[in-house]
Structures are given as C-alpha cells and as structure tokens.
Amino acid sequence: MADRLRLMAVHAHPDDESSKGAATMAKYAATGYDVLVVSCTGGERGDVLNPRLKGDPHIERDLAQVRRDEMKRAQEILGVQHTWLGFVDSGLPEGDPLPPLPDGCFALEPIEVTTEALVREIRRFRPHVVTTYDENGGYPHPDHIMTHTVTMAAFAAAGDASAYPHAGEPWQPLKLYYNSHNRAKYAAFHEALLEQGVESPYGDWLKDWDPEKARTITTRVPCSDYFDQRDQALLAHATQIDPDGAWFRVPRDLQVSVWPTEDFEAAMSYVPVTPVEDDLFAGIPNAATGDRLATSGELELAYDGRTEVAS
C-alpha cells in the first residue's frame, strides 16, 4: 500500500456513499487509487422508499441483509473497497414531540467507542484523504451528525500515538473534506430544466433552502465520465431509491453540460489548500505515499476551514 494514494469516505448508512461523492470515488478507483467506503451503520432501521418494493415479504423479513447485499453490489459497481464499522442504525425520529432514540443505536454510543472503531480503520487503511459530512450532517439525521462527530475525532486521534494505543500503529491523514450540499448546483439544474420546458423537481426545495446554510466550496472534481457508475450504484440500493424519483429527473447530458463536477469543502488539512482545487489530493507530496508522514508529530495544520465563515 505504501506506493498508492488512498481515499477513505466515511458514511452513515449504505446508499449514502452512492448519493454523495460516488463519481469522484469511481474516478479515483479507476485511476489506480485505493478507495475505501466506511459505513458506520447497517441501515437496519431504514424504510423501504422504493414504491415498487413496498410490501415485498422477503425485504420485510430481513431488511438488514437486503441492505448488506445492496451495498455489496454498489461497491462492485464503483470499484471500491468497503467495510462496516458495525454500529446499529438510529432511525430517523419523527413526531411532535420527537421520540427518544432507541437504546444501543449509533447516535447514543459513547464517543470513545465509536471513535476508536474508526481510528482502527484509519490506521489499518492509512488514507491520505478522508471525506465525511459537515457539522449539520448534510441534513440533521442523528446518524449523519454522529458520523461527522466521530470522523472529526478520529482524524485528530489517528496520528496520536497516545490515543487508543491498542488500535494500531499511528497514521495521520493529511486532508479532511465535507461532501458539499450546493444550492447553486440545483439552482442551475432547475433553470436548465425550465429553459427546456421540462418541469423541475427543485422549485419548492430551492425556496425552502436557508441562505444561512450556504457552504464554501473549495474543491470541484471533474468526474462526469463516471456519472453512469454513480447512478448504477445508487440504483443498486433498490429499497432506498425510486428509479422514477427526483434523483433521475435531470437528463445525463444536461448534468454533464451544466455541472460536470462533484464538489467538496476542505475542513482540515496538513498541506496548503488553494481554492478552487480540482483534486482532493492536491498539495500532497509524493513522499506522503510512504510511511514518513505516518504520525502527526511532525505535522502542523495548514488549513482549518472550520474557523472560516461559510459563504
């Protein structure tokens, strides 16, 4: 592994990896990089969102195994590695007042337990770049917020020899990114659809988008050649994705012409970040592919986007 650059994408549930940064992962995997998806939970408490599959007795009997099988197929389509962190889906609480989260779920696990599990994976895989969700989880699902919290803690601890000493030899990833939720992208799709006389699925969504939640895009990865793999991986999660739904309302050629990138927000980096990058590995020296930067002791944080005002 010492001569290959490595990317780790940390996600809450199976299917999240295919809807957030999937074309980027497929691109790097096809180019010869090692790419690992970490699923923090198994999605056991998810609902069947594809109307074609609602009421299917096989799915209802063992949704957890169905979702594992879906994840395996998506992994194969994207050409990436995959591991389960092993925690239990928290579910999405609904109602007024909201019900309490179920005992033993991921969002209620002690942070030391969840962090050590991810630190162990970081030290095993030794990624140079990690991606995850912003502090809002992308959207406020308790597992997405916990995934952010755990990833930030593990990024800080993985290179520290005094932290979790039984979780493997220290390894410090060099860059941490958030998957971007970009209003401008969907606004561009919305306008392009209307110009073609096609109904847009984004109108009400854009009206409800809080401008205060705008994020800073630091990195745009050109990856339109891999949009088909992204879509096929998403469709592999058949219980979660309606093939007639909003995900697939924008024609592929329009996507490629209007927004051919996947976008990211640099959160922390031990190498300089100069927006707008076109590569998650920008600034990482070739020496980083060896073991010289295995710990955080010789590194100084060069970029800390957490302290900047999002725009």
- Per-residue confidence (pLDDT) for residue 232, from 0 to 100: 98
- Per-residue confidence (pLDDT) for residue 193, from 0 to 100: 95
Single out the residue in 214, 233, 265 at which a domain terminates.
Answer: 214
Is residue 307 scored above 60 in pLDDT? yes
Q: How confident is the model at residue 294 (pLDDT cuts 50, 70, 90)?
A: low
Is residue 236 scored above 90 in pLDDT? yes
Q: pTM of the prediction?
A: 0.94
C-beta atoms surrounding 152 within 10 Å: 18
Q: How confident is the model at residue 137 (pLDDT cuts 50, 70, 90)?
A: confident
Is there a single domain that holds both residue 124 and residue 192?
A: no
Owning domain of residue 186: 181-214
Is there a single domain that holds both residue 207 and residue 96?
A: no
- Per-residue confidence (pLDDT) for residue 309, from 0 to 100: 35
Amino acid at 284: I
Closest CA to 227 of 210, 250, 244, 202: 250
Is residue 311 scored above 60 in pLDDT? no
Q: What is the 3-state secondary structure (H, E, C) of 26-68?
A: HHHHHHCCEEEEEEEECCCCCCCCCCCCCCCHHHHHCHHHHHH
- Per-residue confidence (pLDDT) for residue 295, from 0 to 100: 62
Could you list the residues known to form a binding site, using ranges. Answer: 13, 16, 144
Is there a single domain that holds both residue 13 and residue 122?
A: yes
CATH code of the domain covering residue 116: 3.40.50.10320
Residue 310 lies in a domain: no
Is there a single domain that holds both residue 191 and residue 111?
A: no
Residue 307 lies in a domain: no
Residue 278 lies in a domain: yes
Is there a single domain that holds both residue 239 and residue 198?
A: no
Cα 111 from chain centroid (whole Å): 20
Residue 308 lies in a domain: no
Q: What is the DSSP string of the chain?
A: -TTS-EEEEEESSTTHHHHSSHHHHHHHHHHT-EEEEEEEE--TT-----TTTTT-HHHHH-HHHHHHHHHHHHHHHHT-EEEEEEEPP-----SSSPPPPPTT-GGGS-HHHHHHHHHHHHHHH--SEEEE--TT-SS--HHHHHHHHHHHHHHHHTT-TTSSTTS-S----SEEEEEP--HHHHHHHHHHHHHTT---TTHHHHHH--GGG-----EEEE-GGGHHHHHHHHHHSTTT--TTSGGG-S-HHHHHHH--EEEEEEEEESS---SSBS-TTTT--GGGGSSTTSSSTT----EEGGGSPP-
Is there a single domain that holds both residue 49 and residue 192?
A: no
Is residue 255 scored above 80 in pLDDT? yes
- Per-residue confidence (pLDDT) for residue 212, from 0 to 100: 66
Joined tokens for residue 134? 């912003």
- Per-residue confidence (pLDDT) for residue 287, from 0 to 100: 53
Joined tokens for residue 20? 């957030």
Give the pLDDT confidence of 160-211 residue by residue, as tens digits.
999 999 999 999 999 999 998 888 999 999 999 999 999 999 998 888 887 7
Q: How confident is the model at residue 51 (pLDDT cuts 50, 70, 90)?
A: very high
Cis bond before residue 276 (omega within 30° of 0): yes
Give the pLDDT confidence of 84-99 residue by residue, as tens digits.
999 999 999 888 888 9
Is residue 296 scored above 80 in pLDDT? no
- Per-residue confidence (pLDDT) for residue 245, from 0 to 100: 86
Percent of the chain, pLDDT > 70?
A: 93
Is residue 147 scored above 60 in pLDDT? yes
State the total domains in the chain: 2
Is residue 112 scored above 50 in pLDDT? yes
Is there a single domain that holds both residue 73 and residue 41?
A: yes
Joined tokens for residue 182? 């970009």
Could you list the residues known to form a binding site for Zn(2+), using ranges. Answer: 13, 16, 144
Is residue 15 scored above 70 in pLDDT? yes
Is residue 218 scored above 70 in pLDDT? yes
Q: How confident is the model at residue 306 (pLDDT cuts 50, 70, 90)?
A: confident
